[in-house]
Chains A and B, each alone.
Chain A
Amino acid sequence: MSAVFARLNMLMFIAWRNVWRNPIRSVLTVSALAGGVIMLILYYSLMAGISQQMIRFATEISTGRIQIQRQAFIQDQDLYATIPWQYLTQLEQQNPSLQFAPRLYAAALASHQESSTGVQIMAVDSQRERPVTKLLTHVRQGQMNLEQGIEQDGMTYAPVVLGYQLARNMGVTLGDELVLVSQAADGSIGNDLFRVAGILKPINPTFDRMGVLMSIESYKALMYLETGIHEIIVNFEIEPLQTSNSEDWLSTIQQQLMTQITAQEQAQPLDKLGGKVQVRNWREVSPSLSQMLALSHSMMLMTGVVVMSLASLGMLNTMLMAVHERRQEFAILRAIGMKRRWLLLMVSLESLFLALISAVMGSLLGTWMSLRFEHQGIDFSASMPDGYDWAGMVFEPVMHGLLLPEHIYQSCLMMLVISMLASLFPAWLSTRHRPAESMR
């Protein structure tokens, strides 16, 4: 056993010396591979940053981590598919660690002077909404005090806050009058005058184009809907320790809420038409988002393979040259009785050293760069002040990276595997020469 180790030691020594026989060539190879690792680490942290922003936007701004709705509301926004208010208070009592925000929705016709358009009303309870989502701080212009009426010409108007594109399309600015007309729950024509109190920042393309935000009191006065609420948004703090298994945490809470609601449904049966109460997490609420995240994961893997394969061509070239130069040496080694497999191992060790140096250099530089990137971000706000929307998601104009430890070791591992595969051919070639011919 010790003999094997001694021999391995010797081989490693020779391989290490061989690496530095042509320093320039080795440095070039190392920089190609390290560059690949840096690129990958940066790319991974960028993708993670984007995903994190998407999830944050989806959960913190509007949809929350968990949503509770009636089946008929999910299917076709049925105005009457409400959850009784008692359900909400009950849930709040049972789960003091979770935060709940009730919401009501309705389709309506909004008009301002000559322009009129179909809108989607969303009514929130400011006090409950604030701890749950950042919706109410996501305002671009004006103020978000939905409960306080606006005095004008001796009248008090209920305030509304509009999606930015809706405001632009209707030509509405702060303080303007807005008429909302809808079919109220009792079949009559619900109608009221409002004043525009604020304009939101981009949330999602639909809400930006159609969204009108108001208080639950104003909603009830407009829609005559007293039976309950359409949606309960649930959010909770994820403690740092739980970040890694936040998905398990999410489904545990989801299960717990479902059990409590099922119990309530038995205690206080709901009307048949609205269907059962559903508890869904953000992945189920926006499947396109979670599909996109899964897609970006496999895209990251493919990009990694491509980048690393290109970088490993440098390794292949270097090792082919090295093996070619040292044909005579190898022939002598073979002639004095070195076994082929030891020769193979020696050449492979040389490649491994190159790869390891690249891994260390690459991960150090890559970490440093992506930490800077995480800290400062890339600012597009000069050209896109509103951010941009892509696949139904709105992004902030400042792009931040997010470096996770697995990005570093995944990149290094990928580089090591691919470059070692690339060096197999030169190593095999080194054992194929005939000593007698090579020494001539």
Chain B
Amino acid sequence: MSGVWWWVKSRALFALMVLLLVPSVTAAGLTVDDLVQHMDSLWRGKTSKAVMSMQVKTERYERTMSMASWSLGQDYSLVVIREPIKDKGIATLKVEQNIWNYLPKINRVTKVPASMMSGSWMGSHFTNDDLVKESSYAEDYESAISFTGLRDGTDVYEVTSVPRPDSAVVWGKIVMILRQQDLLPVEVRYFDEQEILVRTLTFADEKQLDGRLVPMRMTLQPVDKSDESTTILYEDIEFNVPIAPSFFSLQNLKRMR
């Protein structure tokens, strides 16, 4: 009996010491930067090519789109709508902090101005700003591991990010939760400046791809409208396909339809 007790106590003590002494490094030796980096490149790799569907549900309408996307690093991405037919060929190009939309109906490329950044992207609950801000996440936010341990029956890491003093961002706080055993993201919570929860992004349907576990489904849910959501379902992702930066050009934007 006493042997077991000693074992339990020593483990608890060890865990406590780990928490007290090295709070920013997890038991597995991961720093917070590793975790942020992991989240960032999970769906992207160095380059990526994906087919996905987006289902938007609002109190007024429901629609599903099928899209193809390409990305290179954090700064380049291109998304083209395949279906429905009415919207086929509508494309979004992101290069660093800029977004252009191509509209095949009128055969015009329009740049999204700063004033429209908070506007909805393709009628979903994602905003243009969400696309732009993912490239500067590490510069805009100061992250720290705020919790390590058991939550809802799973060992998780909780990473809390707050904006750096001079960064121009929308959120007041972002909390990410990852599963410890395989670093699978579980949930991201977005808070406003008053630290009130505004929306949550949840992940599901993980799949082993290229040696990592990637959730194939993500659902964005605004808190104030509980019956609304946007779900992105990856049907196929390929990592590290050869794509040159010149692929992400305004000319190509028009050609993609």
Chain A interface residues (CB < 8 Å from chain B): 80, 109, 111, 116-118, 179, 181, 183-189, 191-193, 273
Contact = CB atoms under 8 A, between A and B. Distances in A.
B172 interface: no
Interface residues of B, number: 24
Contacts of B105: 191-192
A95 B60 CA distance: 33
Given A111-B110, A179-B110, A189 B115 contact: no
Contact of A186 (B63, B113, B119): B63
Contacts of B108: 111, 179, 191, 193
29 contacts: A111-B108, A111-B110, A111-B111, A116-B110, A118-B113, A118-B115, A118-B116, A179-B106, A179-B110, A181-B101, A181-B103, A181-B110, A183-B119, A183-B120, A185-B60, A186-B61, A187-B56, A187-B58, A187-B61, A188-B63, A188-B86, A188-B123, A189-B87, A189-B103, A189-B122, A191-B105, A191-B106, A193-B106, A193-B108
B90 interface: yes
A111 B116 CA distance: 12
Nearest to A192: B106
Contacts of A116: 110-111, 113
B85 to A, nearest CB: 11
Contact of B103 (A117, A184, A186, A191): A191
Nearest to A179: B108
Given A186-B63, A189-B101, A117 B106 contact: no
A193 B113 CA distance: 18
B103 A109 contact: no
Given A116-B113, A189-B101, A189-B123, 9 more contacts: A80-B60, A179-B108, A179-B110, A181-B103, A183-B119, A186-B63, A187-B56, A187-B123, A188-B86
B182 interface: no
Contacts of A109: 110, 112-113, 116
Contacts, number: 57
Nearest to A116: B113
B227 to A, nearest CB: 12
Nearest to A182: B119
B163 to A, nearest CB: 25
A188 B101 contact: no
B59 interface: yes
Contacts of A273: 59-60
Interface in B51-79: 56, 58-61, 63
Contact of B90 (A118, A187, A189): A189
A111 B105 CA distance: 15
B63 A187 contact: yes
Minimum-distance CB pairs A-B, first 4: A187-B123, A191-B103, A187-B61, A193-B106
Contacts of B122: 189
A111 B108 CA distance: 10
A376 B123 CA distance: 55
A172 to B, nearest CB: 15
Contacts of B103: 179, 181, 189, 191
A111 B112 CA distance: 10
A64 to B, nearest CB: 28
Contacts of A187: 56, 58, 60-61, 63, 123
B222 to A, nearest CB: 15
Nearest to B87: A188
Of A80, A116, A188, most buried by chain B (CB within 10 Å of CB) is: A188
Nearest to B62: A187
Contacts of B101: 181, 189
A189 B108 CA distance: 13
Contacts of B112: 109
Contacts of B123: 183-184, 187-189
Contacts of B119: 183
Contacts of A188: 63, 86-87, 123
Interface in B114-161: 115-116, 119-120, 122-123
A188 B58 CA distance: 13
A188 B121 CA distance: 10
Q: Which of A111, A183, A191 has the most CB of B within 10 A?
A: A191
Contacts of A181: 101, 103, 110
Nearest to A191: B103
